[in-house]
Amino acid sequence: AEHVLVIGAETLTRVTDYTDRGTCILFGDGAGATVVARVDDSEDGIIDAHLAADGVGANLMILPASGSRIPARHESVDQKLHCTRLEGRAVYKNAIANIVMMVNEALARCNLTMDDVSMIIPHQMNARIIESAAKHLSIPLDKIFINLDQYGNTSGATIPMAIDQAKREGQIKTGDLVCLVAFGGGMPWASALVRWR
């Protein structure tokens, strides 16, 4: 394909329990899209991408009900089984470890260092996680794009929304090396190193 439109859209407020202060303050609704185009120069564009998962963490972030296994009924709705649940401390530890691992492994695969990276755009999961990851990577926080304070965690929409905002604000420009990192429920994680065009 010459051009691919990548779209991430989420309405997490539909599955948020507003009596659970551990989760309701985190999530927001959003949609973002990014156009990916073929480039002839191997120095530009996506220069590294990696996707992995660890099912051991599958129960750390879940939506216990919905679908055919536990369809919506009075009992399941009353028990708030159709709302997001997460094990905060375990997710926190996993997220920091995975972000640091993804960034370091991507750079190692490409024989690059953190000095080569202009900006890291992470999944906007939690400000404390992002701040801790920056400390573990020994980089200043201004090298990591954050808009979580404006939109919350919009799940699959966070990175396309952040890319758009960073580009509009002039925080990423032609020639910049940008590292994208994400993880999600069920504990998959992914990274991409992109030479911005």
| Full pLDDT tens readout for the chain, 197 residues | 899 999 999 999 999 999 998 888 889 999 999 999 888 866 788 999 999 988 888 888 888 898 888 888 999 999 999 998 888 888 888 889 999 999 999 999 999 999 999 999 999 998 999 999 999 999 999 999 999 999 999 999 999 999 999 999 999 999 999 999 998 877 889 999 999 98
Q: Helix 88-109 vs helix 127-136: angle between axes, to the nearest 10 degrees?
A: 40
Residue 75, CB half-sphere, CA atoms under 13 Å: how many?
2
Instruction: Determine the pLDDT at residue 179.
Output: 98
Kindly compute the dihedral angle of the four CA atoms of residues 73, 76, 82, 83, in this order, to the nearest 10 degrees: 140
β-strand partners of 194: 46, 178
CB-based contact 119:144 (threshold 8 Å):
yes
The confidence score (pLDDT) of residue 91 equals 87
Q: What is the dihedral of CA 25, 26, 30, 33, to 10 degrees?
A: 160
Give the DSSP per-residue string, 103-130: HHHHHHHTT--GGG-SEEEE----HHHH
CA distances from 117 to 121, 144, 157, 174, 192 (A): 11, 10, 23, 13, 12
Q: How far is CA 32 from CA 11, 154, 163, 165, in A?
A: 12, 10, 9, 10
Q: What is the Cα–Cα distance from 178 to 163, expressed in whole angstroms?
A: 10
The predicted pLDDT at position 136 comes to 96
Residue in the structure block whose two tokens are 């959003």? 30
Half-sphere exposure of 178 (CA within 13 A, CB side): 24
Residues, the chain:
197
Q: What is the pLDDT of residues 80-105, one digit of tens each?
A: 999 988 888 888 888 899 999 999 99
Residues 6+ apart with CB under 8 A from 131: 141
